[in-house]
Amino acid sequence: MALDWLLAAPLPPAVPRQRLLYQRLRDAILCGRIAAGTRLPASRRLAAELGIARNSVMFAYEQLVAEACLVADRHGTRVAALPALAADSGRTHDRTLPGLSQRAAAAMQPEVGRDAETLPFAPGVPDLAGFPFRSWRASLDRAWREASTRQLGHTPYGGEPALRAALAGQLSTVRGFAVKPEQIVITGGTQSGLDLCARLLADSGDTAWVENPGYLAARAALNLAGLKVHAVAVDGEGLAPGEGDWQAHPPRLIMVTPSHQYPTGQVMSLARRLTLIERARAEGAWIIEDDYDSEFRRGGPALPAIYGVQHDAPVVYAGTFSKTLYPGLRIGYLVLPSAVADDFVRAAGQATRPGQGIEQAALADFIRRGHYTTHLRRMRKRYALRQRALRAALAAHPGAEVRVSGGEAGLHLVLWLPQERADVEVEARANRLGLGVRALSRYAQAPVRCNGLVLGYGNIDEAQIDGLVRRLRQAMAV
Burial (0-12, 13-18, 19+ Cβ within 10 Å), 240: middle
The single residue among 320, 352, 356, 451 that binds ligand PLP, judged by CB under 6 A, is: 320
Query: At its nearest, how many Å lie between ligand PLP and the CB of residue 333?
Result: 10
Query: At its nearest, how many Å lie between ligand PLP and the CB of residue 96?
Result: 33
- Give the residue among 54, 82, 56 at the shortest CA–CA distance from 67: 82
C-beta of 357 vs 410, nearer to ligand PLP: 410
C-beta of 330 vs 429, nearer to ligand PLP: 330
C-beta of 188 vs 241, nearer to ligand PLP: 188
Contact call for residue 322 and ligand PLP (CB under 6 A): yes
C-beta of 90 vs 327, nearer to ligand PLP: 327
Cβ-based neighbours of 338, under 8 Å, separated by 6 or more: 180, 182, 183, 312
Ramachandran quadrant class, 166 (left: phi over 0; alpha: psi -120 to 50; beta: rest): alpha
Q: Is-contact 260 267, C-beta < 8 A?
A: yes
Tell me which residues in 161-180 interact with ligand PLP (CB under 6 A): none
C-beta of 26 vs 272, nearer to ligand PLP: 272
Residues 261-300, mask of contacts with ligand PLP (x by CB under 6 A): -x---------------------------x-x--------
Q: How many helices (H) and strands (E) does the chain have?
A: 17, 15
C-beta of 151 vs 324, nearer to ligand PLP: 324
Q: CA–CA separation, 63 vs 69, rounded Å?
A: 9
Q: CA–CA distance from 44 to each of 36, 55, 128, 386 (Å)?
A: 22, 9, 64, 77
Contact call for residue 459 and ligand PLP (CB under 6 A): no
Q: CA–CA separation, 172 vs 189, rounded Å?
A: 20
Query: At its nearest, how many Å lie between ligand PLP and the CB of residue 37?
Result: 56
Tell me which residues in 87-126 interact with ligand PLP (CB under 6 A): 124
Instruction: Reduce the DSSP state of residue 256 to 3 states and report it.
Output: strand
How many residues of this chain interact with ligand PLP, rule: CB under 6 A? 13
The single residue among 126, 332, 357, 458 that binds ligand PLP, judged by CB under 6 A, is: 332
Query: At its nearest, how many Å lie between ligand PLP and the CB of residue 26?
Result: 43
The single residue among 151, 183, 257, 356 that binds ligand PLP, judged by CB under 6 A, is: 257
Tell me which residues in 343-402 interact with ligand PLP (CB under 6 A): none
C-beta of 57 vs 455, nearer to ligand PLP: 455
Q: CA–CA distance from 370 to each of 22, 64, 137, 169, 374 (Å)?
A: 59, 60, 15, 12, 6
Report which DSSP code applies to 204: T
Query: At its nearest, how many Å lie between ligand PLP and the CB of residue 425?
Result: 24
Q: CA–CA separation, 252 vs 227, rounded Å?
A: 9
- Give the residue among 36, 12, 38 at the shortest CA–CA distance from 24: 12
HSE at residue 278, side-chain half, CA atoms within 13 A, is 6
Instruction: Reduce the DSSP state of residue 287 to 3 states and report it.
Output: strand
Query: At its nearest, how many Å lie between ligand PLP and the CB of residue 346?
Result: 23
Query: At its nearest, how many Å lie between ligand PLP and the CB of residue 323?
Result: 7
Q: CA–CA separation, 34 vs 28, rounded Å?
A: 6
Query: At its nearest, how many Å lie between ligand PLP and the CB of residue 68?
Result: 45
Instruction: Reduce the DSSP state of residue 230 to 3 states and report it.
Output: strand
C-beta of 123 vs 241, nearer to ligand PLP: 123
Sign of CA dihedral 394, 382, 459, 295: negative
C-beta of 63 vs 261, nearer to ligand PLP: 261
User: How many other C-beta atoms lie within 10 A of the C-beta of residue 351?
Assistant: 13
C-beta of 124 vs 436, nearer to ligand PLP: 124
The single residue among 41, 130, 156, 327 that binds ligand PLP, judged by CB under 6 A, is: 327
Beta strands 76-79 and 207-212 are unpaired
Query: At its nearest, how many Å lie between ligand PLP and the CB of residue 233?
Result: 17
Tell me which residues in 182-241 interact with ligand PLP (CB under 6 A): 189-191, 215
Query: At its nearest, how many Å lie between ligand PLP and the CB of residue 418?
Result: 26
Q: Which residues of 181-196 are buried (b: 16+ CB within 10 A; e: fewer)?
A: bbbbbbbbbbbbbbbb
Q: CA–CA separation, 364 vs 428, rounded Å?
A: 42
Span near ligand PLP by CB under 6 A; candidates 196-204, 267-275, 320-328, 430-438: 320-328
Q: Is-contact 277 315, C-beta < 8 A?
A: yes
C-beta of 29 vs 291, nearer to ligand PLP: 291
C-beta of 60 vs 220, nearer to ligand PLP: 220
Query: At its nearest, how many Å lie between ligand PLP and the CB of residue 213?
Result: 11
Query: At its nearest, how many Å lie between ligand PLP and the CB of residue 20?
Result: 46
Q: Which residues bind ligand PLP (CB under 6 A)?
A: 124, 189-191, 215, 257, 262, 290, 292, 320, 322, 327, 332
